[in-house]
Amino acid sequence: MKNIHIDIETFSDIDLTKCGVYKYAQSKDFEILLFGYSVDGGDVKVVDIVQGEKIPDEVINALSDSSVTKWAHNANFERICLSKYLRKYYPHKFLSYSINEDNVGDYLDPSSWKCTMVWSAYMGLPFSLEDVGAVLGLDKQKLTEGKELIKYFCVPCKPTKANGNRTRNFLHHSPDKWEMFKKYNKRDVEVEMQIQQKLSKFPVPDFVWEEYCLDQEINDRGIAIDMELVEAALVLDEQARVKLTTDIRELSGIENPNSVQQMKEWLTENGFEADSLDKKAVSELLKTAPTKLKKVLELRRQLAKSSVKKYQAMKNAVCEDNRARGMFKFYGANRTGRQSGKIIQLQNLPQNHMSDLAQARETVKYSYYDEVEMLYDDVPDTLSQLIRTAFIPRKGYKFVVADFSAIEARVIAWLAGEKWRDEVFKNGGDIYCASASQMFGVHVEKHGVNSHLRQKGKIAELALGYGGSVGALKSMGALEMGIPEDELMPLVYAWREANPSIVNLWYEVDRAVIKTVKERVTTTLKCIKFAYKSGMLFITLPSGRNLVYVKPKIGWNRFGGESVTYEGIGSTKKWERIESYGAKFVENIIQGIARDILFYAMKTLSHCFIVATVHDEIIIEANREISVDEICKQMSKTPPWAKGLLLKADGYECEFYKKE
């Protein structure tokens, strides 16, 4: 046996979508119902575990055998569920990995598991088995009855008089559906095998599978959560909501202060028109509102912020050992290959600006609402700022948080050959000051001469590197930062004039992509290769990893020029044709290279207990004696495929997660 394709059907009383597979499989009611498999491309067999059939011994042995490659679509689900199954029914066959000091011991080694969902994402295809099958035009498609069958057999049912008030459907409640369920399980394995066969000409590089394994290890390890803080925050937030609602009702007479419509009507009655009650709109209203309205609007703003979704997500996901697992989706952003967040979503945590976070944490954990309100006034804002701090290292350890300094700015300067920027990085300068100096022809210091121009340099750097114009500056908050609207277009021109090599890169990439798609030839630009194969555009990055665009075509943009369109998941979250252009392809390339640099650093630091990555940041659960400087030194190593690229990592240590 060399390969085995697997698909399982399971039951649990825990909501998989809210809690993730690690918590899902810990339920006492968790069980595997059907086990579909194929050995070395042979016929698909379905083991009906519910009816007493046994998984063959050679297959059980293969699950822990590193010489046998296990394939599944979203293989993380199968691996975690089968880890629980083996530990319960075949403990003598279960084999984990890593060292005793680690927190991954309950799970099968991911190094011999591969995922057709990852392969699909690598090829620019959708994530779901059904959608991949449709796009690839497979002979055998996922059975459409599947969703209804899963709803019937795999999750608890609502008790009704008609179903005898039962809370679960078993096979004897509908033998016909059960037989269809088995066919559905078999078909999923067949579709997975066809995906692998269809994509076999374009294998995922071995180093990407190594990265997948590292991602799985981080998901298995999880990150510890301070559940005392979480529980206290949930209680305080509910108290805050009740108090704020009561105060607004008493001041305004509004029956439901949570109703946007009722709030707008009340404002209109008091002489104020409001098209929106979002954060920006309320801030504008507060500038001119009289005292009574201002008080109500301030309370409404606090009520709007009174959200415990993150704390509730932590409570949902946390496992029996108070660690949240499965927070990251490998290749979640399949345009660049970056990880994306799941469940708690560490990628979009609120910032913290409080100077006394440690004291605030203790106050929230051990004080009554009145005490917290007396000390911090705005309770919802305090709880929001403490969300990051709910992530903690295990006892006896510390967090080391390290991230790359201006990684995308460094990569684009290196790729474009914008020499003055490289000099800034080489000399340890501030890129925002240097950019402002280059744009306006004067010396700019962060807290010194012409320091007011640094703000313009910063907003230009953040908004304009990928062809952005006035709209991008506005989206980045240029107007809120005090930059007049009539200065925005001159700012765009100034930045582009200061960065001619970057601007030239946009047009060079645009020409290379159009030439490759139109003439179906291989084109090389600097260290990037563009190729057209089998109806797909491949952009090969310096690391050797490909960015893949499905069914590219030449079209015409709104300016009357040629452009390339391709099929992918668009802004509607549906599979559609997407128009692109040179600067957008440059953005994908730069972010793709930055992603590869991050994974190179993660491999360099894989001997450490990495518990999370957030954008360009690595969070390590470290022994007390580990040096932050040493971590940053290791992280700053330039990959051999990026000679000349200047990298820098900064870091700090903390007793709970925070932004320094």
In-domain check, residue 504: no
Task: Give 307's pLDDT tier (boundaries 50, 70, 90).
Answer: low
30 DSSP assignment: -
What pLDDT, on the 0 to 100 scale, is given for residue 34? 98
Concatenate the DSSP letters of all residues of 229-285 into one string: HHHHHHHHHHHHHHHHHHHHHHHH--S-TT-HHHHHHHHHHTT---S--SHHHHHHH
Give the model's confidence band at 481: pLDDT under 50 very low, under 70 low, under 90 confident, else very high.
Answer: confident
Give the chain's domain count.
Answer: 4
Percent of the chain with pLDDT over 90: 82
159 and 41 housed in the same domain: yes
Q: How far apart are CA 460 and CA 466, in angstroms?
A: 11
User: Do 63 and 81 sit in the same domain of this protein?
Assistant: yes
Q: 599-641, pLDDT tens digit by residue? A: 999 999 999 999 999 999 999 999 999 999 999 999 999 999 9
Looking at the structure, do residues 526 and 464 belong to the same domain, yes or no? no
Q: Report yes or no on 234 lying in a domain.
A: yes
Dihedral, 77, 79, 83, 84 alpha carbons, nearest 10: 10
The verdict on residue 179 lying in a domain is: yes
Choose the final residue of a domain: 141, 172, 204. Answer: 204
Q: How far apart are CA 245 and CA 302, in angstroms?
A: 10
Question: Measured between alpha carbons, how far is 633 from 352 in angstroms, rounded to an integer?
Answer: 27
Residue 37 counted as domain residue: yes
For residues 127 and 173, membership in a common domain is answered with: yes
Query: What's the CA angle centered on 527, arms 525 and 528, to 5 degrees?
Result: 60
Residue 24, domain member (yes or no): yes
CATH of residue 237? 1.20.1060
**Domain residues for 196?**
3-204
Provide the pLDDT for residue 363. Answer: 96
Statement to judge: residues 404 and 455 lie in one domain: no
Q: Are residues 245 and 195 in the same domain?
A: no
71 lies in the same domain as 46: yes
User: Domain of 153: which CATH number?
Assistant: 3.30.420.10
Going by C-alpha positions, the residue among 497, 480, 481 that lies closest to residue 489 is 497
Q: How far apart are CA 43 and CA 169, in angstroms?
A: 29
Looking at the domain assignment, is residue 367 inside a domain? no
pLDDT at 283: 82
CATH number at residue 540: 3.30.70
Do 570 and 643 lie in one domain? The reply is yes
Residues 13 and 101 in one domain: yes
Whole-angstrom distance, CA of residue 170 vs CA of residue 201: 43
Please indicate, yes or no, if residue 338 is contained in any of the structural domains: yes
Average pLDDT over residues 464-479: 92
276 and 199 in a single domain? The answer is no
124 in any annotated domain: yes
The edge-to-edge listing of strands for the beta sheet with 391-392 is 323-324, 223-225, 391-392
Residue 56 sits in the same domain as residue 185:
yes
> What does pTM read for this prediction?
0.93
Task: Tell me the average pLDDT across 165-183.
Answer: 96
Gap between the terminal Cα atoms of the chain: 52
- The whole-number average pLDDT for the span 225-252 is 94
Tell me: do 166 and 49 sit in the same domain.
yes
What is the C-alpha to C-alpha distance for residues 219 and 104, in angstroms, rounded to an integer?
9
Q: Which of 461, 473, 465, 404 is nearest to 435 (CA)?
A: 461
Angle at 202 between CA 595 and CA 523, to 5 degrees: 70
